[in-house]
Amino acid sequence: MRLSTVNSARWTQSRMFQLDYGGPSSNVAANLALWNHEVRYVTKLPPNDFGDSAINYLRGFGIDLDYIARGGSRMGIYFVEPGVALRRGRRIYDRAHSSLSEATADDFDFDEILRNGALFFWSGMSAGISQQASELIKTACEIAKQYGLTVVCDLNYRKQQWSPREAQRVIRPLMQNVDICIGSRDDIENCLGYVIEPNEQTGELDAKSYETVFHRIQQEFGFKYIATTLCKEYSVSHIDSKAILYDGKNLLESQNYDINPILDRVAVGDAFTSGLIHGLLTQVSTQRALEWAIAASAYKYTISGVIDRVSVSEVETLIAEHNANMILH
């Protein structure tokens, strides 16, 4: 449950909050369902009005919710103070003793859930909720691999949630069953322990800064793909964004998108992850899939809330128009 201050107010001055539901996994599920994929969402929610409200919210996207477990006493909560101008946004997480943090393997029939699937996605934030949650992810990943599913992880490191040492202790073993890894520089350094240095010639973080590290990561974990976004920030409201993907041999780069002004930064990473999953499932090439992912995430900067409420045709049009503009200029 997400509680955000109104009109970018600070927590210390707020007496009311806007209530929404979301999180990396549910955001990805909703985005993919909106893009016409058959999606099954798995979590545990309390048997109270807030749990019911969350389910009703998710049901509106056409997601299969039959395997959501009910139990426990509370939902996890996070508080958001949106950024504006030079002030960055802030978050506080309150997820201890939430229903999912106390879930066990008895709550889910992963054989039934995963048997006929094509892809299983999990978020590093879920693994950080509790030891039990990380064990559930490990079980689900192992069963997913038995059934031949592609396993995708967005590392989603949050310093408010755990330390790099704690994250690496949990996340690194889980990577053994991951096919596609997505993460920012902070995610990669804090969850996997690989340091990404600026380019020696330019002094900036660019695609070359990542290539050697991505190769080492791929050699250790055997990922089919590892991807990230590269953003140059001019202000909280202005950003230049592109993406890179390493396939074990080649480093692919997407087109750049200059986004100004930004309406909402929340869940842009989830939009990128959703776009990459959609692209890999539907597009004719890995390069095209990467272009789909960055275009979907660029759109999300212009949309308030946590869901990338953009159609497939709108993303396709943006890619086509952007490519045409790049050629013209």
Domain assignment present for residue 69? The answer is yes
Q: pLDDT class for 326, splitting at 50, 70, 90?
A: low
Split at pLDDT 50, 70, 90, the class of 88 is confident
Predicted pLDDT of residue 131 = 96
Model confidence, pTM: 0.95
Surface-to-core class of residue 229, CB atoms within 10 Å of its CB (0-12 exposed, 13-18 middle, 19+ buried): buried
* 294, part of any domain: no
Strands 150-154 and 180-182, sheet pairing: parallel
For the chain, the domain total comes to 1
The pair phi, psi for residue 233, each rounded to 5°, is -95, 125
Residue type, 276: L
Give 115-164 pLDDT, tens digit per residue. Answer: 999 999 999 999 999 999 999 999 999 999 999 999 999 999 999 999 99
- Does some domain include residue 323? no
Percentage, residues of the chain above pLDDT 90? 87
Identify the CATH number of the domain in which residue 93 sits: 3.40.1190.30
**110 located within any domain:** no
What's the mean per-residue pLDDT of the chain?
Answer: 94
Is 215 within the bounds of a domain? no
pLDDT tens digit sequence for 252-302: 999 999 999 999 888 999 999 999 999 999 999 999 999 999 999 999 999
Tell me the two tokens of residue 303.
């949309």
- As a whole-number percent, the residues of the chain with pLDDT over 70 amount to 98
pLDDT computed for residue 101 by the predictor: 96
Nearest to 237 by CA among 67, 64, 24, 86: 86
* Overall average pLDDT of the 18-31 stretch: 96
* Domain presence at residue 32: yes
Residue 328 clears pLDDT 50, i.e. is over it: no
Q: For the segment 199-251, what is each residue's pLDDT rounded down to a tens digit? A: 777 777 888 889 999 999 999 999 999 999 999 988 888 999 999 999 999 99
Give yes or no for residue 83 having a pLDDT over 90.
Answer: no
Domain residues for the domain of 10 are 1-103
241 in a structural domain? no
Report if residue 269 sits inside a domain: no
Q: Please choose, from the candidates 100, 77, 268, the residue with its C-alpha nearest in 3D space to the C-alpha of residue 182.
A: 268
64 DSSP β-pair partners: 40
Distance CA 253, CA 273 (A): 16
- The Cα 234–Cα 257 span in angstroms is 13
